[in-house]
Amino acid sequence: MRSIVLALVILLTETSLSFAQGHMGTPQEQQACRRDAQRFCRQQMGDDGAVQQCLQQNRTRLRKSCQKVFASHGM
């Protein structure tokens, strides 16, 4: 379980990087989407682009805090 959480933190950091071309996601941004990534995108874990795409495809189902992360990056 611990390794999954660590991998997710790394994944969300890299996903946040792709959100804003060089902007590292803040710990708060990472935390905002962590549960949604685990819930909706478990099969895509390990593929940053696929997780980002998965989250976008499930955007209407994301928690408000994760939706705000996408909105803050113009997505």
State mean pLDDT over 14-34. Answer: 62
Ramachandran area for residue 26 (φ above 0: left; ψ -120 to 50: alpha; else beta): beta
Mean pLDDT rounded to a whole number for the chain: 76
| Residue of 75, 72, 2, 1 whose CA lies nearest to 32 | 72
Domain segments of the chain: what residues?
2-72
pTM score of the predicted model:
0.63
State mean pLDDT over 21-45. Answer: 80
Residue 23 — pLDDT band, cuts 50, 70, 90?
A: very low
Q: What is the pLDDT of residue 35?
A: 93
